[in-house]
Amino acid sequence: MRSRRLSDVAAAVGGKLAEDGDAVVRGIAVDSRGVTPGDLFVALPGDRVNGEDFVEDALARGAAAAMVGPRWAGRGGRLIVVDDPGAALLRLAGHQRANLRAHVVGITGSTGKTCTKDLTAAVLRRRFDVVASPASFNNEVGLPLTLLEADEQTEAIVCEMGSRGPGHIRLLCEVARPTIGVVTNVGVAHMELFGSPEVLRDAKAELPESLPADGAAILNADDPVVRDYGDRTPARVVWFGTEETADVAAKAVEVSPGTGLASFVLRTPDGSAPVRLRVPGEHMVPNALAAAAVGWTLGMSAAECADQLATASVSGGRMEVTEAGGVRVLNDAYNANPVSMAAALRAARAMAGDGRCIAVLGYMAELGPIAQDEHRRIGELAARLGIDLLVVVGTEASLIAAGARDAGLPPDRMTTCAGPQEAAALVGSLVRSRDLVLVKASRVARLERVADALERSLADRPRQAAG
């Protein structure tokens, strides 16, 4: 964030300074524990935690000031009083955006948003000064924080845009004003929040519809829903995928047994180059293509994009591989939906090679009326893929086990656990050298605890054996 006078911030958000003194703001914080000297602490309300309860803590840690709600009116101190701190944060980000010349890339879709964001940022860093949203900063808090990280030197901002219902992406676009918009795919994720495929379809279309006429819509040619967005955007359309008509395409896709790493020939209108990804899973190929399409749109060559993709990594908890004691743990527990769950299972089976593949699977949240059928289908897929041991965690995910059983997975090759702690202890007692363990569920299942516990116990094994 470029440095600003506190009075300028107050003017930008329509707030009122509680005292006449001014100060310089050098950053933004929404968690008092992360405040660094010179930050503006935005006291966001919340169902579980209210930021206004931590104003004094933020100021004690060196915050230049705090942005607070109306109940603070009339109090002295380093405060900016506004009607709604959350809305004011969006206004401040919008004001920042209006004064930046950077390209803004917005990325949405049912799956792959964060990985595509990470890969796009990696590609663009070859030529540009880039700011990208950390982790999954994709809502009305995370997106403005990303924009406010940029300054006059920033040349490209890569923003992830999530949606919990109609109008959410449109709001984010009004603030970020993206010049390039990427839609990865449109599936059944979060159906509980949208209610119908039609509502979900229209919600994801809000990004391409919001682009300017001189912008670019980067759309997945392999997705039948996304293909229709080509007629719903005023921007130039750049297609990516495996279709022959795609502008940026992957040809000769191969997945290496044992590593699960995909390689392909990246083809653009201006040339081709070989790519070998460092993140496992064939489902990473479309994410890489979308990133390359953004790079090509901004003038990069196929060779430049390929070079960057070859070394690009993604955020933690997404196809993250660790190895200890001869066992590989594939931690993909950050989130899950039917598409990403199926992709992770296929990738894990390929990575295991002739070793055992153990799948620790949990609940897929926010599927609403399709939840029962989709959990059963995942179990059926696990059986068809020949998963050697299926561990289902939590009662909400029990239909995964039922689907696997109905599809013929023998009872001695599957088990259920009440929670992450029990699952970690069980798998830790069963794994042996050359096993691969996939851990996958929605964030609410907290299966990252299984991956963490496994990694710790496996790392301790050599020391225990030596002692």
pLDDT by residue for the chain (467 residues), tens only, comes to 778 899 999 999 999 998 766 889 999 999 999 999 999 999 999 878 899 999 999 999 999 999 999 998 888 888 999 999 999 999 999 999 999 999 999 999 999 999 999 999 999 999 999 999 887 788 999 999 999 999 999 999 999 998 888 999 999 999 999 999 999 999 766 566 666 788 888 999 999 999 999 999 999 999 999 999 999 999 999 999 998 899 999 999 999 988 999 999 999 999 999 999 999 999 999 999 999 999 999 999 999 999 999 999 998 889 999 998 899 999 999 989 999 999 999 999 999 999 999 999 999 998 988 999 999 999 999 999 999 999 999 999 999 999 999 999 999 999 999 999 999 999 999 999 999 999 999 999 999 999 999 988 887 765 444 33
Q: Do residues 297 and 235 lie in contact, with contact meaning Cβ atoms separated by under 8 Å?
A: no
b/e per residue 214-237 (b: at least 16 CB within 10 A): ebbbbbbbbbebbbebeeebebeb
pLDDT for 464 equals: 42
Q: Is 377 helix (H, G, I), strand (E, B) or coil?
A: helix
In 3-118, beta strands by DSSP E: 4-5, 16-17, 24-25, 27-29, 39-42, 65-68, 79-81, 103-108
Q: Say which amino acid occupies 208.
A: P
How many beta carbons lie within 10 A of that of residue 408, not counting itself? 9
**Cβ-Cβ contacts under 8 Å for 101 (sequence gap 6 or more):** none
In 199-247, beta strands by DSSP E: 216-220, 236-241
pLDDT for 462 equals: 56
pLDDT for 297 equals: 98
Domains for the chain: give ranges and CATH numbers.
4-83 (3.40.1390.10), 100-311 (3.40.1190.10), 320-466 (3.90.190.20)
Helices (H), 312-447: 338-352, 371-385, 398-406, 420-430
Per-residue tokens: 458 = 């496996």
Of all helices (H) and strands (E), which one includes residue 132? strand 130-132
pLDDT for 466 equals: 35
Helix count and strand count (H, E) for the chain: 17, 22
Phi (first) and psi of residue 399, to 5 degrees: -70, -15
Q: Do residues 128 and 158 lie in contact, with contact meaning Cβ atoms separated by under 8 Å?
A: no
Q: Is 463 helix (H, G, I), strand (E, B) or coil?
A: helix
pLDDT for 75 equals: 84
